[in-house]
Amino acid sequence: MTRVRCFLVWAVIGYAVVGPRYLQAQDTKPAGDKQTDASSPANDSKERPACSGMYSFLKDGEFVQVTVEDVGNVTGFVSRFGDGESDKGAFLDQFFKTGKLDGNKLRFTTELVHGVTFDFQGTAERGEGKNPGDEAYFVLKGTLTENLTDANKKVTSRSRPVVFKMFPQEGAPTPDVRK
Q: Does residue 145 fall inside a structural domain?
A: yes
Task: Report whether 114 contacts 93 (CB < 8 A).
Answer: no
Question: Residue 157: beta bridge partners?
Answer: 147
Residue 105 has pLDDT above 90, yes or no: yes
Total domains in the fold of the chain: 1
Q: Which DSSP letter does residue 118 get? A: E
Convert the pLDDT of each residue in 117-160 to its tens digit. 999 999 999 999 999 889 999 999 999 999 999 889 999 999 99
Residue 155: inside a domain, yes or no? yes
Structural domain that includes position 55 = 2-26+44-165
CA nearest 153: which of 115, 97, 117, 119?
115
Task: Answer whether residue 177 is part of any domain.
Answer: no
Q: What is the CATH number of the domain that holds 111?
A: 2.40.128.30
pLDDT band for position 49 (50/70/90)?
low
Cβ neighbours of residue 159 closer than 8 Å, sequence gap 6 or more: 143, 144, 145, 146
- Give the C-alpha separation, 165 to 60, whole Å: 12
pLDDT in tens, 59-76: 999 999 999 998 889 999
Asked, for residue 49, whether it belongs to a domain, the answer is yes
Q: Is residue 171 part of a domain?
A: no
179 belongs to a structural domain? no
Nearest to 64 by CA among 54, 50, 49: 54
Count CB atoms within 10 A of the CB of residue 160: 9
